[in-house]
Chain A
């Protein structure tokens, strides 16, 4: 069955600290992988995507993610978190255009 697991429901970090949000997937073939961010009361904004090629992808707002086929993972990272990064983050996978989303990780940033 196709699924996405984000094991961390809620993460709290201090401003300036590094961040890693975990994402594991189950999919029949190598999927396309996405990270979206949802700020309170806002829609979903695409942070980055992986289709093929270099397994380390750079996105907007200083985020990056690494695709690890052997671990079926696509973890999101940021070296230094800003208070404005507080939001909910969703990992998504899909081979066709239908996306399967994880349950999201809520990021809280303390000053």
Chain B
């Protein structure tokens, strides 16, 4: 158990809909990351938040957005869903976001299926 908690574990929704994935980081971690794992794209970095502020952005679509709340949990919002958004979405956390080589711990992921 990495200490990173993600909900829901599985989600099936229709095209055009909107979903929210939730993540609680490890106790004491200030940085939260979102990654997408799909068969065709592999593991792709989406976005990073540090202590409530966006720190880095990767291959995140405009239809997707995220935020980190004062209690440090994070949510990833996916809207206008398409079939190609079906993937495993990982949340990860680390103590800091300063590039000092902190280990990043991953949650078990949220499986999203768009039908």
Contacts and interface: CB of A to CB of B under 8 A. Distances in A.
Interface of A: 32, 34, 36, 42-46, 49, 51, 90, 95-104
A45 B56 contact: no
A32 B101 CA distance: 7
A102 B44 CA distance: 10
Given A44-B106, A51-B101, 13 more contacts: A36-B106, A43-B2, A43-B4, A43-B90, A44-B92, A46-B106, A90-B43, A95-B99, A96-B99, A97-B33, A97-B97, A97-B99, A102-B42
Interface in B25-50: 31, 33, 42-43, 45, 48
Nearest to B94: A97
Contacts of A90: 43
A4 to B, nearest CB: 10
Nearest to B102: A97
A44 B42 CA distance: 13
Interface of B: 2, 4, 31, 33, 42-43, 45, 48, 56, 58, 90, 92, 94, 96-99, 101-109
B99 A101 contact: no
A44 B33 contact: no
B42, B56, B94, B104 — which one has the most chain A CB atoms within 10 A of its CB? B104
A43 B43 contact: no
Contacts of A42: 108
A92 to B, nearest CB: 8
Contacts of A99: 45, 104
